[in-house]
Structure 1
């Protein structure tokens, strides 16, 4: 099997795009899962956080399916959706589009560059639910908003929400952020446990100044990532609930891969950030033998360099606080 792929990233959260609209690969879900495990392995010459499969939709401009590096399928991916938004809008010559995802059809649109020469897209993050059954989280209460989960931490308060991926968010101080707490509890809730049977994304949020936050996420099925789009969106919402930021106002969200902007509305969140291409290539895959060979690799050097400039700006801001 020979695949045409594009390596892309949103805030350093990197993926491969495989276009099933233009190519009749006739992949099964088991093959998609196997491809994700094989191609996303960072010990190979490729490596990524996941694969974005772009498919035909009966009622939207395209459909996005997301397979994590461990082979599991995610219901949504905000950073990945920006990359798919760019791919679909450029493919179909659109300024805005509707992308079908597992739980909802989401609006996407081209935006002014976040930084000179950095392609930027806005994507809708929804639906939003605070019902613990939608994560699921097994506790007696119907919601967990700034509440304690004593088996995880006696100090930290958590907010649980689905957007629609499941998240627990904790607003922390610098010392808590730099400790090993996040790694330990993330590994706990993403292994066999009584609270989150399906696992959960875990984010620590450090408020910077008004309208600015830093978010670090341990992503279910991946581990620590440079950024997680739905986590940054959920974290922005949580800071509005705590009156650290305001709805309908731009929140600058910094992450280990750069920065995005979020605007929290009553029923959804706007996630605005880069959709950058790294390289394109052909991959000859032998799934039976779990092997592949890369050919015709072409790098997008100008885009890579432009995003590095944005990374430096973001890093200089974080250097004041971390």
Structure 2
């Protein structure tokens, strides 16, 4: 509920409701039924991609007849070659809400992009900056000394922002200074204005379908899109020089590869389905943090809840300060007050590690939190920006809440490793622990669960507190830890958010060990700008440089930060710059959620994969990281694609599954090479962090 100024300066209450849920859950159908039922409700699309009028099939946009009949707002009004940010959307939305208020109508928000709907529900107003001032700052902050001076100025202009912002995070530092200087220190980027604890302007109803139903709907949605002419739509769009945001839409890259002859249509469809399921995982992870959402399991139940909430608003019994309805009404968020543990809930192929809480189970702080003020960097962050997925905790013995960690380093990539506690610190606390100035300091935190009869489970968190799928160097350090501290055998399997991986101890020294790990399926596409997008269980962009001088002169922090704002579809991206060497390549890296680092294991694999595709190497590549060399080996593929158990409870199988390439010309199915990453791991110290680091 929000006040809007009407004619003659009169103020009237503008009420409405928001429909949320993951992709393919039926939000659009729900909205149409509700809009026909209550004719004063007008659907308002809250989606970063349905704004593009050239992408009706790609974005599953409502039919033109429905758009016209229901008087849809904020849909199909932006040319596909233009960038469109959240800031622009909120300006357009403000005008549409004024028109609705003048016509005595109410908004029915249909999301869409989870972060955008949160901004609408919270009444988020981006702080105003000045692009010219930002450019002036960018040209003058050239090194660490400049950054320190700028940070000192920020602490004087905006002390609260100075407390929250890491002075090494140049992008956030620039944005905070821009806002402070442009507003005369009257506005700030500080504060959790996109959180879930405050009042909401509009009630939210969430569609939560059963996992198998949602998976089936995803497949049917893709089939329908293909039948409607999705391939032809992408062919047309590619001639229009689509913006980076438009190119990030699911299906654009995959069908572009098909049109270019790089894959078959079946392969493109499978990649689209896999990417959609990953998106759904991120959306669910984001949405389930919001206790204000009233979850329903069907459109009929949703209509009942909508009538109830709208009637409460009209009667004056609904308050934006109060949470109404059940926390989770049905489906993946079903509740029962009896249980206190976690149980597994299969979500098809979304992720082998995906789970949902048992009915009534408390989250116990396990849902990752991250400071969402990163939105203020450029007002164009995409869906699910701050969360990286859900995970499967094993049911293990509860531990003391005091977290004890061990510090390991792998080729300069350092990690804190410890056992999974009963109460997981949230993202802000993890960031404090990993801070090198005020905490223990490391590139990442690895928490491990070792349950009887099950593979050890790796939970990896970045320096900024966000969750990561996996790390090659971290995996090797974890293998070292499990062999040394848990007494597991020298060959073992470890479950990660990117799937099952295998560790093998190659050489054991007095301090440093040499180990190697499998890296799973690797997928690569070539971008129009000549860079390579490589999926190694997490996303990478590999950029080939002209020579060592160009590489050494590169501002890794600045260039890597620029890439983060462009990687909407993958919630940021790891970036590697490479130059050819005698037996591989020289690499510099910017890690998503961390910044420039001394080494990156998955980045080294991505770089080696590109080097192999360019003909630089064949079976083995030495990747020279600033922290040391890592070796990537492309081994013989599995003949049957199945893993054979060697009888060891935690042991690696004797035959490892590989990716599969389908030859278009011969029709022969060929297994892609298995990829192994080899390098050192070294124990640094045993640490018991001070309790204040985990104090809220």
TM range (shorter): 0.7 to 0.9
Structure with more of its chain in strand, by fraction: 1
Q: Distance in 1 between matches of 2:441 and 2:679?
A: 22
CA contact (8 A) 1:60 1:99 kept: no
Deviation string, structure 1 residues 242-276 (Cα, Å, up to 9, x no partner): 000003xx322211111121102434310011111
* 1:164-203 correspondence to structure 2 within 5 Å: 164-172=537-545, 173-180=547-554, 182-191=556-565, 193=566, 196=569, 198-203=571-576
Instruction: Provide the residue aligned with 1:251 in structure 2.
Output: 621
Deviation at 1:195, TM superposition (A): 5.7
1:129 aligns with 2:499: no
CA RMSD, 1 decimal: 2.2
User: Helix, strand or coil: the match of 2:688?
Assistant: strand
CA contact (8 A) 1:104 1:127 kept: no
Deviation at 1:32, TM superposition (A): 4.5
Instruction: Provide the residue aligned with 1:70 in structure 2.
Output: 464
Deviation at 1:93, TM superposition (A): 3.4
CA contact (8 A) 1:201 1:219 kept: yes
Deviation string, structure 1 residues 203-235 (Cα, Å, up to 9, x no partner): 0112121x2321111000000000000000111
User: Helix, strand or coil: the match of 1:244?
Assistant: coil
CA contact (8 A) 1:217 1:225 kept: yes
Q: Distance in 1 between matches of 2:463 and 2:690?
A: 19
**Alpha carbons of structure 1 residues 159 and 175: separation in structure 2 relative to 1, 3 Å:** same
CA contact (8 A) 1:57 1:100 kept: no
Q: Distance in 2 between matches of 1:107 and 1:60?
A: 14
* 1:1-322 correspondence to structure 2 within 5 Å: 1-20=401-420, 25-28=421-424, 31-44=425-438, 46-56=440-450, 60-90=454-484, 91-112=486-507, 118-130=512-524, 143-144=525-526, 147-149=527-529, 157-172=530-545, 173-180=547-554, 182-191=556-565, 193=566, 196=569, 198-209=571-582, 211-247=583-619, 250-265=620-635, 266-286=672-692, 289=695
Deviation at 1:202, TM superposition (A): 0.6
Q: Distance in 1 between matches of 2:575 and 2:567?
A: 16
Runs of 4+ in 1 over 4 A off after TM superposition: 57-60, 194-197
Provide the TM-score with structure 1 as the length reference: 0.74
Deviation at 1:194, TM superposition (A): 6.4
Q: Distance in 2 between matches of 1:124 and 1:194?
A: 26
Deviation at 1:116, TM superposition (A): 8.2
Unaligned regions of 5+ residues in structure 2, if any?
A: 1-400, 636-671
CA contact (8 A) 1:15 1:51 kept: yes
CA contact (8 A) 1:128 1:268 kept: no
Provide the TM-score with structure 2 as the length reference: 0.35
CA contact (8 A) 1:99 1:108 kept: yes
- Larger RCO, structure (CA 8 Å, separation 6 or more): 1
